[in-house]
Homo-oligomer: A and B are copies of this chain.
Amino acid sequence: MTQKYADLTPIMYPKSVAIIGATDNTGKIGNIIMRNYIDVGFSGKIFPININSQGSILGFKAYKSVLDVKQNIDLAVIAIPAQAVPAALEECGKAHVKGVVVISAGFAEVGNVDLEKELERVAKKYALPVIGPNCLGVMDLRSRINTLFLPTFKLDKPKIGNISFVSQSGAVGSAVLDEMMHEGFGLARFISYGNAAVIDEVDVLNYLMHDKETKVIVFYIEGVKRGKEFVEVAKKATKIKPVVIIKGGRSDAGMQAAHSHTAALAGGYEAYDAVFRQFGFTAAKDLKDLLNYAKILSGQPLCTGNRVAILTNGGGMGVLATDALADNDLKQAQLTEASQATLRKTMPPIVNIRLPLDVGGDADDKRFGDALDVIEADPGVDALIVVALFQTPGADSRVAEKLIHHATGMKKPMVVICMGGNFTEMHKIMLESSGVPVYSSPSDAASSLAALISYSRYRQ
């Protein structure tokens, strides 16, 4: 390719898709991908391609080669044995296909370096943007493309939103994606780019940084091939939107494992860590943190101050949340005299007017609301953590509604901590589907708020 960064648009917004390796045989990858396209209601044209095809596949007219289609093909998805891939790619080039996803494995990751070089050569010859090989490909809920070859019953249903998740590893990709869908994360795009023979993390980052559907970019990488270009793009990207990142292979042993996994030059973590810090990445060391950080960044306003007010209906949880603030270099806010005076009027006498504000196990929506009115408006408070324990006698869905009412449109970030079983889960879903991030432990809430504040300061 002559341009500096590959353009992913034909892959993301295809009007027509050729599936090379499509088949009627259930269980085969080419069959699963065909069915996924049908299932998601892709509105463009679908051309199943199979060298042995006889007439039709899954009810669609089938072709022996993309060259036989004689119509415009935006995207080709290749799911055939590795050895046959370069020839198929050559045909894509000749047929003026605009973008390709190579699902097939069996390239550099198993030592077939020459085969991967051949793939790369063909892609360059035709200036073809190619994702893969050895990947899950892409999923986009708006343009309804889905090249994943995972049985749909094994994954939860996705919700449209503003988080895009990019994973070098297909396995990490599918597990995290499934967990995101389970947790109700709003998703924009999923990209699993595998061996990165042509399109790599630099291209993907460059594409997503300009993508208006993406508010938060979430990245799993094992190594970066073009370090200089990565830094160049990252510098710009993190000035526009948060990039939450985790690097597999932080330890020496992990690095060796990563090398064996995707044949990536993993490189010392110190270098990555320095880049992450210098250029405003939100770096996670664990997948849970990756998800926690993405959640707060996708919905809450930026905030450079670190004075946090804790409101709780359980004393002990207020204590633990206070400890978690200290662990994350956050400060406990102090209420002004005026705020304290107002609270003395609206709270029952048993409530101790100080932060963390413990409004008691009998607190109902009215009491939560009265407390939030004051805390939200206090100039000494930059951000809020609300502990809402739904096991308590006073807490019910009206409390959740009150929290949603306050969080919506608030200029300060607010996160909620709740922990428990089904009754609590129900309220967690209420809160999160209205954009209020919920965490199930004080340390998750505090570390996520700290990540938001750290990124906000970088952007300042």
> Which residue numbers of A lie inside 8 Å of B, CB to CB?
27, 106, 110, 149-151, 153-156, 167-176, 178-179, 181-182, 220, 222, 246, 248-254, 256-258, 260-262, 285-288, 312-320, 322-327, 332, 350, 352, 354, 356, 358, 361, 389-393, 418-425, 440-444
A149 vs B362: C-alpha distance when bound (angstroms): 12
Contact indicator A250/B323 (Cβ below 8 Å): yes
Can you list 5 A-B pairs, Cβ within 8 angstroms, ordered by A? A156-B421, A172-B320, A178-B424, A179-B421, A286-B324
Contact indicator B262/A315 (Cβ below 8 Å): yes
A419, closest chain B residue (CB): B175
Tell whether A178 pairs with B319 under 8 Å between CB atoms, given A287-B419, A326-B253: no
* This protein's copies in its complex: 2
Measured between C-beta atoms, what is the minimum distance from A441 to chain B in Å? 4
A319, closest chain B residue (CB): B248
Contact indicator A421/B171 (Cβ below 8 Å): no
A23 vs B313: C-alpha distance when bound (angstroms): 26
A312, closest chain B residue (CB): B171
Contact indicator B286/A443 (Cβ below 8 Å): yes
Tell whether A391 pairs with B175 under 8 Å between CB atoms, given A354-B260, A422-B156, A444-B288: yes
Measured between C-beta atoms, what is the minimum distance from A354 to chain B in Å? 7
A356 vs B259: C-alpha distance when bound (angstroms): 12
A387 vs B22: C-alpha distance when bound (angstroms): 31
Measured between C-beta atoms, what is the minimum distance from A291 to chain B in Å? 9
A387, closest chain B residue (CB): B171
Measured between C-beta atoms, what is the minimum distance from A95 to chain B in Å? 30
Contact indicator B254/A320 (Cβ below 8 Å): yes
Measured between C-beta atoms, what is the minimum distance from A254 to chain B in Å? 4
A389 vs B155: C-alpha distance when bound (angstroms): 11
Interface centre among A181, A316, A358 (most CB of B within 10 A): A316
A256, closest chain B residue (CB): B322
Looking at the complex, which one of B27, B256, B326, B421 makes contact with A252 (CB distance below 8 Å)? B326
A173 vs B352: C-alpha distance when bound (angstroms): 21
Contact indicator B155/A420 (Cβ below 8 Å): yes
A285 vs B314: C-alpha distance when bound (angstroms): 18
Contact indicator A253/B322 (Cβ below 8 Å): yes
Closest 4 CB pairs of A and B: A171-B314, A169-B316, A156-B421, A251-B326
Looking at the complex, which one of B254, B440, B442 makes contact with A179 (CB distance below 8 Å)? B440
